[in-house]
């Protein structure tokens, strides 16, 4: 057979044929894809956890304010100290108990039966605290009408 009619692919060395076949192989592709996708999945998981904590913190602030307004409206102080300190201690998380500030005010300036009493709970929540993330101010408010003249609490803010 003349060299002109020979098939060039058939004369390729064995090592070259093996390297071409490895390029077509898909072994290890899953590991590479997993390594590329894993950081994105972890970021989404961390974000979901952070926003869950944020909404829990906000919900607790609103609940504490509502309970405080009800206690103030009926002149009830279930704790041994001030109503404000009792309400701060009702936080679900240590972070909320350490950072919450509870204020009881009389919006009309009077504390007669039928006048409003307002309880506000404010606190800060830091997103991604390990990376020094943004701090959000969270506030919960509740207002009710006084049913009994206040004697067991005084308006003001917790320390």
pLDDT of the residue at 17: 57
CA gap 21, 29 in Å, rounded: 15
Answer yes or no: is 43 within a domain.
yes
CA gap 20, 129 in Å, rounded: 50
Residue 75 main-chain phi, psi, to 5 deg:
55, 60
pLDDT of the residue at 72: 95
CB 90 within 8 A of CB 70: no
CA gap 11, 22 in Å, rounded: 19
Helices and strands (DSSP H and E) totals, the chain:
4, 4
Answer yes or no: is 13 within a domain.
no
Domain count, the chain: 1
Answer yes or no: is 106 within a domain.
yes
Answer yes or no: is 15 within a domain.
no
Answer yes or no: is 8 within a domain.
no
Answer yes or no: is 81 within a domain.
yes
Answer yes or no: is 107 within a domain.
yes
Answer yes or no: is 84 within a domain.
yes
- What are the pLDDT tens digits along the chain (159 aa)? 555 655 555 555 565 656 555 566 677 888 999 999 999 999 899 889 988 999 999 999 999 999 999 999 999 999 888 999 999 999 988 989 999 999 999 999 888 999 999 999 999 988 876 667 788 999 999 999 999 999 999 999 986
CA gap 100, 69 in Å, rounded: 16
Q: Determine whether 115 is exposed, middle or buried from the number of CB atoms within 10 Å of its CB (0-12, 13-18, 19+).
A: middle
pLDDT of the residue at 47: 85
The DSSP annotation for 40-109 comes to HHHHHHHHHHHHHHHHHHHHHHHHHHHHHHHHHHTT---SSS-HHHHHHTT-SSHHHHHH-EEEEE-TTS
CB 65 within 8 A of CB 140: yes
What residues make up the domain containing 97?
28-157
């Amino acid at each position: 057979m003349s060299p002109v009619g020979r098939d060039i692919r058939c004369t390729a060395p064995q090592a070259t044929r093996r390297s071409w076949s490895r390029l077509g192989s898909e072994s290890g592709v899953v590991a590479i894809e997993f390594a590329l996708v894993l950081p994105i999945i972890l970021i989404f998981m961390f974000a979901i956890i952070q926003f869950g904590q944020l909404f829990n913190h906000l919900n607790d602030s609103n609940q504490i304010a509502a309970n405080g307004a009800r206690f103030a409206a009926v002149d009830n102080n279930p704790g041994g100290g001030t109503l404000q300190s009792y309400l701060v201690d009702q936080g679900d998380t240590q972070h909320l108990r350490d950072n919450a500030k509870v204020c009881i005010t009389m919006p009309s300036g009077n504390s007669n039966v039928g006048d409003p009493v307002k309880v506000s709970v404010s606190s800060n929540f830091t997103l991604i605290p390990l990376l020094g993330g943004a701090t959000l101010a969270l506030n919960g408010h509740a207002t009710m009408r006084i049913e009994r003249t206040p004697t067991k609490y005084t308006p003001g803010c917790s320390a």
